[in-house]
Structure 1
Amino acid sequence: MKILFIAPRYSGGIGGHAFRVYEKLQEYGFDIKLMHVPHIPIRKLKNPSFAAFSSLKAIVGTEKYDIVHAFNVPSAFAMKYTKAKKKVLSIHGVYSEQVDVLHSKTISTAAKVTETKVLEWADKLTTDSKIVKKMYKEKLNVDFEFFYAPLDIKKFEKLKNVEKKEKQIIFIGRNSHEKGIDILRGIESKIDAKIIYCTDMTWEKAMENLKASSILVVPSRMESIPQVIKEAFYLKIPIIATNVGGIPELITNNETGILIPPNDPKMLLSSINKLLLDDETSKKLADSGYEFVMKNLTWEILLPKYVKFYEDLQRS
């Protein structure tokens, strides 16, 4: 089976997920390639330039594939023109709503029109959370298949041993509005702990900082399912997160983590300072999170579902 993956980048978010799937399916024996295309490194031009350059590459390309799998809406244009028998588009989060939060009304309107159109180009649509699947069905009456993004626990073996740092809080994610980093910064002076912000760091370094921390804070205004929550589960780091997007699919309040409303700095501050003083609850949350991720979200559990998806699609 010959497969092409297309993503604007292969790190962080859905691009990081694409690369992890690529690695694992290669290990399994699939013949997979990644399309690499440059883009203009200016915020408002990144996605449009990627869509244009990748489409051109697909149009002039002569290689044929059994399946082309595009990750996120900007990749769908190259997916459309790639010479492949079957076409898959994955979206993590509702694309037009993400653009609406981050960009102007003009760009947001264009994104909504684009989103509706590109969904029609794929033979299969997939997402990583139940809530996104439900929202697209209600919003546009389109059907998505749902797969959780697996956690590759073998990668943690190469992490250095680190000393646990008392009262260290950690944020891992993009320095952007939807991630709520400004909310955490706004209450930082009132938190009885040091805060580490991992916004532009290698995965290994971020995980070592996470491993040394007391609490992972996920103050997002908008999410699909953050991979860092699974990583914290595996490292047995208790989590305080907002109850947005697919986060409640992973975190059951007061069982595998603590859920709070978004845009509520007072609740966030209170939850952090309270958990810092409660070793018993911290241990209970950490142990429950670890058990959850090991039973539900590792490659050992989920790989057969991914393999079956591609093999069924090839035969259809």
Structure 2
Amino acid sequence: MKRWGITIPLGEVPLTAHRELIERLPDLGYTDAWTAETAGTDAFSPLVLASQWAPQLRLGTAIVPVYTRGPGLLAMSAATLAELAPERFVLGIGASSPVIVSNWNAAEFTEPYRRNRDTLRFLRSALAGEKVTQEYSTFSVNRFKLERVPPVPPSIMLAALRPGMLRLAAKEADGAITNWLAPSDVPKVRGEIGPDVELVARIFVAPTEDVDAARALGRMLISSYLTVPVYAAFHEWLGRGDALAEMNELWAAGDRKGANAAIPDEVVDELIVHGSPAECRERLESYVENGLTTPVISVLPTGGDPLDHATSLAPR
């Protein structure tokens, strides 16, 4: 099945104003709606609404941090969505970043590989309805059992950027979730998980033919994200270390404006999809042709109505 996803909510559009669009998404050719969790909406609430507005859609979180909820609460939230959207909910979990985990949520960001692995294993047991008493390497659980076990446990996918986490996703999860990829990067990521594992990627799309505006927006996003150590290491692994070295140096020195200016046009054009709706759709298709299972569009604010942009970016 060919998949085509979109990130909700769109920009600053009120949640309730999404109803008409979400009801239309299946007819437009979308198969999936995915959320994120940083400092906007939580990852679950928009999907609760979407589960009632468009029962045909697969719904996913990309991602819920494993540190910002206790294991039991994370299982309860996932079980609730799985009950509302049986066999249509994907729980995407991941380490997130020290900024979100420590600076904003007062949690300790330690041992991300082990914490992801332990949380994944706990959720497998809990969402199957088992009573869990277990000493994991990064936390312990004593006699936890869901009171409302979902009729079908949700799929669980793991956010992964580099080989270790990608291999964990392939071995123990139901798929891998990543972002900040160019189409040419997909085969390298795919090579770590094998041909049959679902690979989901959020793709940032600026639907505008104003190249300068798209690149300016792209530079701000790239410098904000790819200077984070985990993303810097990811792009070093992908082969962009030299291209992004000056940006990282200037950012570390506190020169934000200089860091933005140091990002080559070619890097922006690789990582940000921009152009007319038809050009954007063609570029999105190139991700799939290179081995991506599920592209998830994230519409960037380029002016105009984001609900209209979502319609124009639908597959044809």
Establish whether TM, by shorter chain, passes 0.5.
no
More helix, by proportion: 1
TM-score category of the 2 structures, normalised to the smaller one: 0.3 to 0.5
* Higher RCO structure (Cα 8 Å, ≥6 apart): 2
Q: Report the TM-score, using the length of structure 2 for normalisation.
A: 0.40
